[in-house]
Chain A
Amino acid sequence: MNNSAEEQLKHRLMFETLLSEISAGFINLPAERIDDVILDTQRRVCEQLGMDFSALWQLSLEDPRLLCQTHVFRPLGGEFLPELMEAEAHFPWVLAQLTEGNIVAISTEAAPKEAARDQEVWRHYGVKSSLTFPLSAGGDGLIIGALSFGTMKKERAWPKPLVKQLELLAQVFANAIARKRTDHALQESETRLKLATDAAGAGLWIMNVDTGNVWVSEKIRELFHFSPHEKVTYERFFTAIHPDDHEAVQEAVQRALESGENLVVEYRILHPDGSIRWIVAHGQRYGDAEPFRLMGVSFDITARMNVEAEARKQWEHLAHVTRMGIMGELTASLAHEINQPLTAIQSNAEAAMRFMAAAEPDMNEVRQILEDIGRDNARAGSIITKIRALLKKEPIPFAVQDVNELTADVLSLLRADSLLRELVIIRDFFPELSPVFGDRVQLQQVIINLILNGVTAMKQDPSAQRKLIIRTEMQGESAVKVSVIDFGSGIELQNTQTLFEPFYTTKPDGMGMGLPISQTIISEHGGTIYASNHPEGGAVFSFTLPVQQGDRA
């Protein structure tokens, strides 16, 4: 007896050692090894305690009525409980107990009356006694499965200390399974994201801001020419990015991290063979506090950029000329050239008057001054004559023009212009527009002027909708009408004529030349240009052009 008690104590101690060993083994166990370790634990426990089986069941995620046997140790072989089992149908009483949070420790033949169905199933599968624990994790008490041990050869008792010990094991299993599920869910959402981004031709990246390590999808490795298993860091990205773009990228990332604003940055990558690809990266900081992570997608936009660059090159000149260029420079140099002699004239005249007021005026000096005034006046005059010659119109050969097409060209040109980026441009083109007769570049210049006017008007009014409508239509049968409709604060109606006078401007940095030039061009084309307001607020600038007569082409 004494001997046996000693034996029991020894067993118990051995089992306790095993349990603590097992518990420790689950800490930091990688998710993918959890299944193997659970199975191994079931084997070791059964062997040590002389039990015939251990089965772990999980509530199916697809159908919560079903229990799924995921881990089983059963050296005896033969028929056993089915892998997928409807818990309610097979073990209604046990299920109810488990749901209550109770442990079921029972001999089949000693089962209570309410457990008749459960008893039947146990008998069917030859289970003599069984111990079943509910598995729950996360503190909400919700059951995620069950763990059972049992005997088939003979009955056995379930002493309290043993139940307590195994309950601990059940908790360890429950936590491990819950962890694995979370991990799995995360992986699944990542996989979905990857599928979506791959389909869009985008590469996915996640940066740990603290370590600078970056997880990247295959697509990113492909885009940036990173090798398949190479460790990628923030610095490593910069070895691929074009040196001229380093600063811009760094700034954008910094801003996104500091402010939480979306990251949007376009930059170039320089491949070892010297080729250049354009990339756009969209990203966002996430995490509630530091250390943040920055997650985003990157696309190759080289093809788009090439098209844009081509269009830009083609039209850059035109846009530049209209926006600031020649008129601005002309005005500056004109002002300088003319103001010089005017200053001299003014100062000379002033000085002459003062000299004349003296008691004994030096008439010789005054005569010299008057001569100089005459000379400076001639100088100013000759400057104006020179400018006139410069601006003298050359006859421009007119040709048949499709207004829709030349307007569309302007829009694709301006698409790349930063001014229009935050803007919705609505094309309202009348498809059966008659052709007109005119100069393509000049007409486009007028359209650009009107669009930029509209954009500037809306820029000045922060509350304005960022929307611009470009409309083409027929005016009767004899004229084509083009309108640019903005949603700025509109124009003062008494200004509608002044608008077209040179040097009239409402813009802080305007030259006041856009509309007069447009008017000159349109009237040379035999059309008219005018401005009005529309009921939704904002201005409409329209011009008409006579339809081309058949015999003029």
Chain B
Amino acid sequence: MTDENPIVYVVDDDPSVRKALERLLRSGGYETKTFASAPEFLDDGPSHAPGCLVLDIKMPKLNGLELQDRLAEKEIFIPIIFITAYGTVPDSVRAFKAGATDFLEKPFKEHELLDAVSRGIQKHLILMKQKKRMKILTERLHTLTPREHEVLKLVVSGMLNKQAAWDLGISEKTVKVHRAKVMQKMKADSFADLVRIAETLRIHFPEP
């Protein structure tokens, strides 16, 4: 899907921890970028490559949880693995609620970080794939004429051609023509496929 190698971002204010994590990740075969603070990471900005973020919670200036909020605001949905030297239950609850992938307490056991990173990257790949499919489907949706769009909405809601024709005040035959056109434009193999596509896209449907 993408030729780019995954990148693991590490944000931790403790230089020796940062260095050690960079080594550990590198030993696991990951390309790594380290940052000493959350603002530094925000300035640099994560690339479009798949990856994940290993983030310390307790940091001066912007802490890890705040960075998580900032990223959400910017609609950067990179999976986050929190690491903390003194975890509290409220912190972990907040982190998970905001979509954290993992929450590790320092010092973590062998492989814990590498496993979490691997899961995070997988998650990101899936996310990116979904996003890409969504983008393609949306583009296809935009090729429909307004009338085709209406027909799509009605037929996937379970209406028979005849009912849709009545609803739109056109002949059943015309509905059939539109319907075939919609299937073709949306690249749907079957009607069931079309319903699935509509389901995936449902947020893009304007309310009547």
Q: Which residues of A contact B (CB under 8 A)?
A: 332-333, 335-337, 339-348, 350-352, 354-355, 365, 369, 372, 375-376, 379
Contacts and interface: CB of A to CB of B under 8 A. Distances in A.
B159 interface: no
B20 A372 contact: yes
Given A340-B17, A372-B19, A345 B26 contact: no
A397 B102 CA distance: 52
Contact of A344 (B19, B58, B105): B19
Contacts of B21: 347
B75 to A, nearest CB: 31
A344 B86 contact: no
Contacts of A337: 85
A339 B86 contact: yes
A344 B27 contact: no
Interface in B1-48: 14, 16-17, 19-21, 23-24, 26-28
Query: Which secondary structure dominates chain A's binding surface?
Result: helix
Contacts of B19: 344, 372
B100 interface: no
Interface residues of B, number: 21
B26 A343 contact: no
Given A348-B20, A350-B110, A372-B20, A343 B85 contact: yes
29 contacts: A335-B85, A336-B85, A336-B86, A337-B85, A339-B86, A339-B107, A341-B16, A342-B107, A343-B20, A343-B106, A344-B19, A345-B20, A345-B107, A346-B108, A347-B20, A347-B21, A347-B23, A347-B113, A348-B20, A350-B110, A351-B24, A351-B26, A351-B27, A352-B23, A354-B24, A365-B23, A369-B20, A372-B19, A379-B16
B205 to A, nearest CB: 41
A340 B27 contact: no
Nearest to B110: A350
A326 to B, nearest CB: 16
A350 B17 contact: no
A345 B24 CA distance: 11
B16 A355 contact: no
A426 to B, nearest CB: 35
Nearest to A357: B27
Given A350-B110, A375-B16, 9 more contacts: A336-B58, A336-B85, A337-B85, A339-B85, A342-B106, A345-B20, A348-B24, A351-B26, A355-B23
Given A336-B58, A342-B106, A342-B107, A347 B24 contact: yes
Nearest to A354: B27
Given A336-B58, A355-B27, A344 B85 contact: no
Interface of B: 14, 16-17, 19-21, 23-24, 26-28, 58, 83, 85-86, 105-108, 110, 113
Given A332-B86, A351-B20, A339 B27 contact: no
Contacts of A332: 86
A28 to B, nearest CB: 57
A340 B85 contact: yes
Nearest to A365: B23
Nearest to B87: A335
A341 B113 CA distance: 16
A379 B20 CA distance: 15
Given A339-B107, A372-B20, A354 B14 contact: no
B56 to A, nearest CB: 9
A342 B14 CA distance: 12
A348 B85 contact: no
B189 to A, nearest CB: 47
Contacts of B108: 343, 346
Contacts of A336: 58, 85-86
A369 B14 CA distance: 16
Contacts of B113: 347
Most chain A CB inside 10 Å of its own CB: which residue of B14, B26, B58, B107: B107
Nearest to A356: B27
A373 to B, nearest CB: 9
A250 B156 CA distance: 51
A335 to B, nearest CB: 4
Contacts of A335: 85-86
Contacts of B110: 346, 350
Contacts of B24: 347-348, 350-351, 354
A345 B21 CA distance: 10
Nearest to A346: B107
Nearest to A358: B27
A343 B17 contact: yes
For the complex of A and B, the 5 pairs showing the least CB-CB separation, nearest first, are A354-B27, A339-B85, A351-B23, A347-B20, A343-B106
Contacts of B26: 351
Contacts of B107: 339, 342-343, 345-347
Given A347-B113, A372-B20, A354 B58 contact: no
A356 to B, nearest CB: 10
Nearest to A508: B89
A348 B110 CA distance: 11
A342 to B, nearest CB: 4
B28 A344 contact: no
B23 A348 contact: yes
A27 to B, nearest CB: 59
